[in-house]
Structure 1
């Protein structure tokens, strides 16, 4: 019997494992495959009597529990062991070191806690595929791994491995994949030297405790296509030798302590993630090719203006330069690539000038988030002219009005708030605060029946608060403070629940007795001892965009992402509780 794929045999083994009688009949068994058979219980030690077994696969049995019996180490003819996606636990028996013919060991997705990996690995000289990922292994790696001269895949990610990574691992010329991410490995990282050409295309060392500079010797892996060194403590500049990695297409160095210039050769990659470092400038781009689809350089120390080479890439999907020190204007040539751009994230810089009209063809844009800059002027025509359009006018890229939030706060925008905002009936949150908008509050806001938060504070709005806003039954947060509003405050439960600071500094407003009390019935009478001032309310309402889209949506051709509400001091919305993780869309230019 060469191949056995019958569940009943295993059940018979489980039933009679105390007696060798039934197993004697299987002494010529070569293959035992019980993949996804809903097996229950522990692996019987009597399996160790199947001395001719070469392939053992009992993977994907969710109720297979307990430890691996040491008797498995007696099966010295085994070439393949596949135990993935079970609930096996305990340690890997040291007897596995006897399996010197083993080429394939797959234990991923269990609950193993340890084992003498240095002893076991040092003896498995025939091993080509080793995967113990997604367990709880607490162990060191062997100090010398050069004996694994057939090793192609070494995947130990998502464990609790400690200590240094032996340089000898990277000198194995047969390597095709190394994944050490999400462990507690530490120390400087050296890749060693070898006269043999390496074929390694995939290297993942993310989320460890590596430190020191990125070694120049990484350039010897000329076939590398993917490198992830993120979430470590690497320091210094990006080594210039990496320019030799002509096949490299995906590089992630984010969340480290790297500094210096961003080398121009990196722009040829499709995906470049360098966020949360200390890069200070861009190396001048001469004739280098810009092939990128995703560029994330947020949260660095970049100075100067936005590089114009961005416009050379017509298939750019993500551009994140947020949380830097960039100055100057947003280049209008971005229109050349907005047909493909999904995310333009430029918030928290020192950008100035007008917001260019780049949205006419931006049918894939999920997020424009240039908040906390110094942008000024009126909103682009492609946004304002929406109010003259008919619903679903096919002459304009109006798709589905499904996004959930709009944030234009914290800039110097002027002009009127467009009436067309009332078309966006799925909106939950609207923020136009801290600008210089003039004119009246659009009564069309009352059409947004599910609106939960509205902030129009710190502008130059005049006229009345539209009475129909009192019919917005889901509104929990309103702020009309610091404007030129006049007339009566609408009466409704939603308005009466607001804090007095939501209406302060509007000398013409009246009817605030039920909200502010008789002492503060006049909105111009602000009291520094107020429990919650308007300034604190503004700080508490922190609009943070996430670059993930819930579904398609467009504000006059602009398709957008979704929003998080967080509080840094007190939370002045939804009766003292911040609303988190509202899926949908956002335009954020605060």
Structure 2
């Protein structure tokens, strides 16, 4: 009986399956006629002339509509699914379209088409829809609110690449409580956290929330925590701010969290890294987001981790080895430090690793077990040791290696450039795998790895700024036919640029070629055989795609070939620091589109024959040009940001046409023989200037009082000219000015207190002018909180030193919470084809200066008040300077000055013992000489024992009075006439000190030159990159 029942059950099951299959076969052949007609009517509504037939191509009256491409039916022959995605359908769907009469439709996909008209409003008629995908369908205008009536929807995708309208989120989803998958990427929602989170809170079954680039703002609200079923959260590319909420770590099935490209801040909850189900985490480009990684869970599911451009840092935990499924990790531009844990060697599934620009130290781990690794980027760290730690031969799929800007040393291991995968072991194709190698800016050494020439697929090779050696013939690069970027600069390599019997077609087509400091003696050429004769041509001339050429700091002699100015693709040319003397003629029909031209540091002479109309950066400095500047020079600089002709022999006046250059950021005409007045228009156009350097010429006249209120100057050098008049009041409009040097001119007037309104000023030179009067800048001036160099030496200032404002110079005082800026940071960054900057490297011989509060000035570089006529006692806040008439004792606070490199209080009337400190006693005796009352080391004069203490009031008063009296009356009377002349007659005073210097030189042969020289000089060196 039991066997019979079982047999009967199996028979019935067989019959049921049979009829089910039969029914399916019948369905495919029994499309309902009304359904066919509706679909054909929908097809006919589009213009087939402009529309790709796509999936509708075979729709016709004779075939079964249930078998049409993109159509699916139920058992009754009703259309329940329509997928016309990626059909490139062009046209409109109006509100009466037959589409909306397909009443049984459950799934509709119109994604990626060209319905370039407004959304139709008939979707609410499709009340059985559970899946609606209109992503990137091309519809415009407002998303129809009728979609909110489709209460059966489980999946809704309205994502767009570019959406012109806006969406009221709460109105759209208020009835869609069955939604599990919601995609609104690119839709303009424009709502704050409280609003959009509240709108989503009823969707308790939601599993996927994708709202990238939706103009969401504010912090994420706790309403979001009600969506406990979420497994995928994509909220990237919004304006979200505030903290990352800890409740995200409480979602039990969360697999993907993308919050990148927002403004999230604060400390990241550590629990985020410990979600056991999480497979993808992307927090990148939240630039103020902080935190650290304490640990990863055992058996973690994480496959992708991206934290790039955040402040997350600290050490990577050893538990990173728990991420056995990790395929991609990107921690670039973060704050990670310490060694890279050896446990990364367990990441056997790793494909991509990027730790660019952190502070990782120690050696490179062994990545031999990561056999799927294709890209490895450890650039911009502090890694040391060698590259031998990894068995590179096992990385068969390696495509990119970037280890640049570290402290790696030793040689390149043979296995790195001898990988089996790179020399043909993978069916002859592996030699094409390695495409990118960047090892520049390390301490690598040894012979150039010639095995590189076997990697025929190599596209990018940079080994610059190392210690590689050897001779490399240019012919060696013939095999690297795909090589487009080559940088071998700044090693100890020598390039043999001459080739014989070689066709130019056999070389790679370079886009970027950098051979700086490669001992080149000529431009690379080749000699090819043509009908048994030889023709010499420039190898570079035939590089028709060459965009960037750097041959700087070589030994190339002769002329600059004229074909360079006709190279159509060349935009960057650096031939600086060679021995070039001329421009090859003829120079006609110049069609150059060069944007960057650097010829500085050669021996070019005569006139400037090349002024390029499209150039952004032009540097002709440090040559032997010896002509007047062309009157029309400004007409050829319309695109220029940077123009320098410094350190040449140009003469004549500054052409007014230079004022026509509206884009100019840096203008350097210094150290020439230019004469005449400075064109007034040059100051009037300074709204565009960042740097103006006209120093060390023979310019005359006044500094025009025409600086605009929107002045953007950061550096102004007018030193060592013959300028006169007063410091213009409008100069105070240059609020971001950092360097002002008008020293060594004929400028007069009182101390320019209005300059104290320039709060950013760091360097001020007024020395060797005709300034006079007292220095008293009391009032409402802002003050110099950034000032680090202050030089007013060799003027006619007089009176007492009322300089209490020095105590407000914050940049000289210690700040434990802030790194002190250094003078090497004085630079102006420009925007050109290649980022450039103009840097002021200021060399100062410090003389004089000793304020009492200067004992706390940790960032001070120089103060100089010498060669003036200051008088009176040394203020308690400030100690005296050399070559004045100051007296009193040196404050004991001077012992705190452990940072001074040079000190000079000579030629005053100081008395008493020199404060004892290791620093002060390290200075030479000449630093304190000609102060008759000073004693103690380093002076030979010893200080006597102090008298025994008594309680006699008169004696006490005598002692106190002695501390304030500089010299006895007889001494002052004897030297009265000389002192008067020193104070009021500048020419005699200079003559006197010159004679004194000679006398001191004779008495003290080892006397330092810097000490004998009164005053100091500030030299500006340039460094451009």
Fold-level similarity (TM above 0.5): yes
Choose the corresponding residue for 2:516, options 476, 481, 485: 481
Structure 2: where are the runs of 5+ without partners?
A: 1-29, 46-52, 60-77, 527-536, 563-577, 584-598, 609-617, 622-829, 836-1025
More displaced stretch, 299-308 vs 261-270 = 261-270
SS of equivalent to 1:166: helix
| Pairs within 5 Å for 1:237-316 | 237-242=267-272, 245-257=275-287, 258-265=289-296, 268=300, 269-282=302-315, 284-285=317-318, 289-291=322-324, 292-316=326-350
* Paired position in structure 2 for 1:215: 245
* Paired position in structure 1 for 2:168: 140
Query: What is the CA–CA distance in structure 1 between the aligned matches of 2:224 and 2:521, rounded to whole Å?
Result: 77
In terms of Rg, which structure is larger?
2
* Paired position in structure 2 for 1:434: 465
Query: What is the CA–CA distance in structure 1 between the aligned matches of 2:498 and 2:132, rounded to whole Å?
Result: 70
SS of equivalent to 2:139: strand
Query: What is the CA–CA distance in structure 1 between the aligned matches of 2:371 and 2:552, rounded to whole Å?
Result: 43
Higher helix share: 2
CA shift, 1:357, in A, is 4.5
* Paired position in structure 2 for 1:192: 223
Retained in 1: the 8 A contact 2:155–2:181? Answer: yes
Query: What is the CA–CA distance in structure 1 between the aligned matches of 2:517 and 2:34, rounded to whole Å?
Result: 76
Check 1:75–1:324 CA distance in 2 against 1; reply closer, same or farther (3 A cut): same
Q: CA RMSD in A?
A: 4.6
| 2:487 is the counterpart of 1:455 | yes
| 2:389 is the counterpart of 1:354 | no
Check 1:446–1:468 CA distance in 2 against 1; reply closer, same or farther (3 A cut): farther
SS of equivalent to 2:408: strand
Check 1:428–1:221 CA distance in 2 against 1; reply closer, same or farther (3 A cut): closer
What do residues 401-423 of structure 1 show as CA deviations (whole Å, max 9, x unaligned)? 46555433222211111222332
Choose the corresponding residue for 1:120, options 127, 146, 156: 146
* Paired position in structure 1 for 2:1007: none
CA shift, 1:95, in A, is 6.3
| 2:269 is the counterpart of 1:236 | no
Tell me how many residue pairs correspond in the alignment.
504
Retained in 1: the 8 A contact 2:167–2:187? Answer: no
Retained in 2: the 8 A contact 1:94–1:115? Answer: no
* Paired position in structure 1 for 2:832: 569
Query: What is the CA–CA distance in structure 1 between the aligned matches of 2:426 and 2:92, rounded to whole Å?
Result: 65
| 2:214 is the counterpart of 1:183 | yes
* Paired position in structure 2 for 1:526: 602
Query: What is the CA–CA distance in structure 1 between the aligned matches of 2:487 and 2:225, rounded to whole Å?
Result: 63
Check 1:10–1:354 CA distance in 2 against 1; reply closer, same or farther (3 A cut): closer
Retained in 2: the 8 A contact 1:54–1:79? Answer: yes
| 2:371 is the counterpart of 1:339 | yes
Retained in 1: the 8 A contact 2:400–2:434? Answer: no
Check 1:37–1:463 CA distance in 2 against 1; reply closer, same or farther (3 A cut): closer
CA shift, 1:352, in A, is 2.4
CA shift, 1:129, in A, is 2.3
TM-score (norm 1): 0.71
Structure 1: where are the runs of 5+ without partners?
A: 17-33, 41-52, 535-566, 573-590
Choose the corresponding residue for 2:189, options 161, 180, 184: 161
CA shift, 1:340, in A, is 2.5
SS of equivalent to 1:217: helix
SS of equivalent to 2:305: strand
Check 1:504–1:180 CA distance in 2 against 1; reply closer, same or farther (3 A cut): closer
* Paired position in structure 2 for 1:227: 257
Choose the corresponding residue for 1:37, options 56, 68, 71: 56
Query: What is the CA–CA distance in structure 2 between the aligned matches of 1:379 and 1:503, rounded to whole Å?
Result: 25
Retained in 2: the 8 A contact 1:280–1:302? Answer: yes
Retained in 2: the 8 A contact 1:446–1:468? Answer: no
Check 1:527–1:278 CA distance in 2 against 1; reply closer, same or farther (3 A cut): farther
Query: What is the CA–CA distance in structure 2 between the aligned matches of 1:325 and 1:102, rounded to whole Å?
Result: 54
CA shift, 1:399, in A, is 2.6
What do residues 330-368 of structure 1 show as CA deviations (whole Å, max 9, x unaligned)? 23x333x34232211111222222223421211121211
* Paired position in structure 1 for 2:108: 82
* Paired position in structure 1 for 2:157: 131
Retained in 2: the 8 A contact 1:481–1:501? Answer: no
Check 1:469–1:364 CA distance in 2 against 1; reply closer, same or farther (3 A cut): farther
Check 1:442–1:404 CA distance in 2 against 1; reply closer, same or farther (3 A cut): farther
* Paired position in structure 1 for 2:899: none
| Pairs within 5 Å for 1:499-514 | 505-506=553-554
What do residues 153-195 of structure 1 show as CA deviations (whole Å, max 9, x unaligned)? 2122233332242335245332232221232222222353778
SS of equivalent to 1:422: helix
What do residues 468-488 of structure 1 show as CA deviations (whole Å, max 9, x unaligned)? 597444555654432456699
Query: What is the CA–CA distance in structure 2 between the aligned matches of 1:329 and 1:272, rounded to whole Å?
Result: 23
What do residues 90-110 of structure 1 show as CA deviations (whole Å, max 9, x unaligned)? 444566557665433332331
What do residues 256-286 of structure 1 show as CA deviations (whole Å, max 9, x unaligned)? 2321113422793111111121112236345
Check 1:68–1:378 CA distance in 2 against 1; reply closer, same or farther (3 A cut): same
| 2:136 is the counterpart of 1:109 | yes
What do residues 114-153 of structure 1 show as CA deviations (whole Å, max 9, x unaligned)? 4366x53554433322222237352120169464322122
| 2:458 is the counterpart of 1:423 | no
More displaced stretch, 169-178 vs 149-158 = 169-178
* Paired position in structure 2 for 1:554: none
Retained in 2: the 8 A contact 1:470–1:490? Answer: no
* Paired position in structure 1 for 2:639: none
SS of equivalent to 1:206: coil
Query: What is the CA–CA distance in structure 1 between the aligned matches of 2:146 and 2:35, rounded to whole Å?
Result: 31
SS of equivalent to 1:218: helix
SS of equivalent to 2:169: coil
Query: What is the CA–CA distance in structure 1 between the aligned matches of 2:603 and 2:31, rounded to whole Å?
Result: 88
Query: What is the CA–CA distance in structure 1 between the aligned matches of 2:189 and 2:31, rounded to whole Å?
Result: 38
* Paired position in structure 1 for 2:539: 494
Query: What is the CA–CA distance in structure 2 between the aligned matches of 1:431 and 1:463, rounded to whole Å?
Result: 15
SS of equivalent to 1:68: coil
Retained in 1: the 8 A contact 2:464–2:491? Answer: yes
What do residues 8-35 of structure 1 show as CA deviations (whole Å, max 9, x unaligned)? 554458889xxxxxxxxxxxxxxxxx99
SS of equivalent to 2:146: helix
Retained in 1: the 8 A contact 2:321–2:345? Answer: no
| 2:94 is the counterpart of 1:68 | yes
* Paired position in structure 1 for 2:204: 173
